[in-house]
Amino acid sequence: MARSRASMKVKALVEAMEKIAPTWAAEEWDNVGLLVGSEAWKASRAMLTVDLTPAVLGEASGGGFDVIVAYHPPIFRPVKRMTPDGREQAGLAAEALARRIAVYSPHTAWDAAVGGTNDTLAGLCGLDDVRPAASVGAGDPKYKLVVFVPASHVERMAEAIYKAGAGRIGDYEKCSFRLRGQGTFFGTETTDPVVGRRGRLERVEEIRLEAIFPRRALAEVTAAIRRFHPYEEPAFDVYPLETVLDRRMGQGRIGRFAKPVTLRGLARSLACRVKAGSIVTIGGAGTRLRRGVVWVGAAGSAPLAACKPCGPGDVVITGEVRHHEALQYQRQGVAVIALGHWASERPALKPMAAGLKKLLPDVAVAISRADRDPFESV
């Protein structure tokens, strides 16, 4: 049975965004996730935007929105003060907090995700055989815990490690494997065994309890074992696990053009599709393009490093490049289309909204109308 909007919490939106744009796929330098507010707050109406601006915050507040999903994180560098002042980015976050509006940011996690910013722009370019230009890390590595517990204490032990962070696989919790066996030990004169007596070989019926946990929970899980295990010296093993990544995820996208296209033709087509106020290009207008490298926002020189060899016939489609980077592309004969930072990212709000509506049908999801490119063409 569907839950009412009144009962929906920010936690549900956080979990939905984790499925849409897993935070483990974000760049290490980034600041993603729930940045303002509490998971326990109400989440009946969510507004999507590229940037959190005074106009967007006013729109959300006036429209009764409880959550803002701001692609760019409003809190990025360490904050020295937080006062509700719209002239400062941290001040906007403080004002959102004062109005009890939660703020979530996916940023580079959405860039890397399947169907995210880079996939959306690659689709608008008409690229085929699209793949990530640069792979992402495995996120928080996983470990397998194996602990041997007397049958009489296994449930207590299991609940302790679950509470510490073990036993979660996807959307399932309290996952474990249990195997009955016999453990042996010989307690020396300095021991004080809970089962049996020191000075003789003991045989005890035990359960081999296995569970998966993320690396960040290592200290909590091992502490739980030592606290709740009945033995003076609990026996347990921790095994690192290899992570199988979704090879469709990663930063940037690279593909080949399905149809012949020139730099001028692609630039004009994209300007119309992304509603860019103004665009700039590097390379001859009539250059025929064979391969495209998409990197939303500020690509820098990353495409050159990720897609070697790059040269004539290649084009980088991005938001912006700096002067010296532009000269580097020019030297290597690589064409560039810079659509504007905001314009390259804004189209991906629609698929994000569609994903949230599918996962959270009881949350009203809208795209901000006040969200604007800070640059204007003259």
Please give the class, per CATH, of domain 112-136+248-342.
Answer: alpha beta
CATH architecture of 5-110+347-367: 3-Layer(aba) Sandwich (3.40)
pLDDT, position 76: 85
Domain extents for the chain?
5-110+347-367, 112-136+248-342, 142-240
What mean pLDDT is reported for the chain?
Answer: 90
Distances 33 to 71, 171, 364 between C-alpha atoms, Å: 10, 18, 20
CATH 3.30.70.120 for domain 142-240, yes or no, is yes
- Give pTM, 2 decimals: 0.75
Q: What is the pLDDT of residues 45-85, one digit of tens each?
A: 999 999 999 999 999 999 999 999 999 999 987 776 777 76
Q: What is the pLDDT of residues 357-373, one digit of tens each?
A: 999 999 999 999 999 99
Q: Taking a C-beta distance cutoff of 8 angstroms, is the pair 302, 252 a contact?
A: yes
Pairing verdict, β 201-214 and 288-298: unpaired
Which phi and psi angles does 287 have, rounded to 5°? -60, 130
Q: 10 Å Cβ neighbour count for 221?
A: 24
Q: Taking a C-beta distance cutoff of 8 angstroms, is the pair 222, 238 a contact?
A: yes
Residue 16 pLDDT > 60, yes or no? yes
Nearest Cα neighbor of 16 from 362, 377, 304, 372 is 362
Residue 299 and residue 338: Cα distance in Å, rounded? Answer: 9
Cis status of the peptide bond prior to 22, with omega within 30 of 0: no
Residue range 96-118: mean pLDDT, rounded: 96
Model confidence at 3, pLDDT cuts 50, 70, 90, reads: low
Model confidence at 2, pLDDT cuts 50, 70, 90, reads: very low
Could you tell me which residue, 1 or 238, shows the higher pLDDT?
238
Q: What is the pLDDT of residues 127-168, one digit of tens each?
A: 999 999 988 765 567 899 999 999 999 999 999 999 999 998
3-state SS, residue 49: strand
Residue range 192-218: mean pLDDT, rounded: 84
Please tell me which of 87-91, 305-309, 335-339 the model is most confident about, judged by mean pLDDT.
335-339
Question: Does 112-136+248-342 match 142-240 in CATH topology?
Answer: no
pLDDT, position 272: 94
Residue 239 and residue 62: Cα distance in Å, rounded? Answer: 52
Residue range 181-189: mean pLDDT, rounded: 83
Nearest Cα neighbor of 337 from 280, 291, 375 is 280
Residue 243 pLDDT > 80, yes or no? no
Q: Taking a C-beta distance cutoff of 8 angstroms, is the pair 155, 282 a contact?
A: no
Query: How many residues belong to the chain?
Result: 378
